[in-house]
């Protein structure tokens, strides 16, 4: 599975998790007259958005990806696993936290509120990672692929030769 696809899917899933948990929180607090909970939720979501945008700056994305990209070993063949299996193996914690926070959020709206804020933060913090990897791939003429590993371990990558189409046309 290309690393850029995994990053894009991670952002989409956390954005979906934030949306679903936000909806659960809104439904769970609709009958409540507790304005404090709503004020805390609004404040937490604003802080999470601000922190996510700060952490998702392109310069921080490049810094965060430096080590995984530098440690990628060079390979001439792709990992044998299917992209679906790699994605499920790496991203299952997002689904587990979404389901757990959603179920608990029905009974305890604060759990859904905190979960939605955290998912917003992660989504916004990771939104520029794909562009950073694409920039390195285009600059170096390589592609990065995810090696199947446990989701609780750091991501492991392999580097394969790319097409280098921009360099071929510039040399011609």
pLDDT digits (tens, 9 = 90+) for 56-110: 999 898 898 999 999 999 988 777 788 899 999 999 999 999 999 999 999 999 9
Q: What total of structural domains would you count in the chain?
A: 1
Q: How far apart are CA 11 and CA 57, in angstroms?
A: 15
Structural domain for 113, as ranges: 3-171
Q: Would you state the pLDDT for residue 164?
A: 56
CA angle (106, 111, 117) in 5-degree steps? 120
pLDDT score for 117: 96
Name the band, by pLDDT with cuts 50, 70 and 90, for residue 8.
very high
Burial class (CB in 10 A: 0-12, 13-18, 19+), 68: middle
Q: Looking at residue 21, what is its pLDDT?
A: 95
């Amino acid at each position: 599975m290309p690393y850029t696809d995994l990053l894009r899917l991670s952002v989409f899933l956390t954005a979906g998790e934030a949306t679903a948990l936000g909806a659960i929180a809104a439904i769970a607090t609709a009958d409540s007259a507790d304005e404090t909970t709503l004020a805390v939720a609004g404040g937490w979501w604003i802080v999470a958005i601000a922190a996510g945008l700060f952490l998702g700056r392109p310069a921080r994305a490049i810094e965060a990806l430096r080590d995984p990209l530098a440690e990628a070993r060079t390979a001439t063949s792709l990992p044998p696993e299917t992209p679906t299996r790699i994605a499920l193996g790496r991203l299952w914690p997002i689904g587990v936290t979404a389901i757990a926070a959603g179920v608990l959020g029905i009974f305890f709206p604060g759990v859904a509120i905190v979960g939605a804020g955290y998912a917003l933060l992660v989504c916004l913090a990771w939104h520029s990672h794909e562009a950073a990897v694409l920039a390195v791939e285009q600059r170096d003429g390589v592609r990065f692929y995810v090696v199947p590993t446990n989701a609780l371990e750091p991501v492991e990558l392999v580097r394969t030769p790319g097409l280098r189409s921009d360099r071929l046309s510039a040399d011609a």
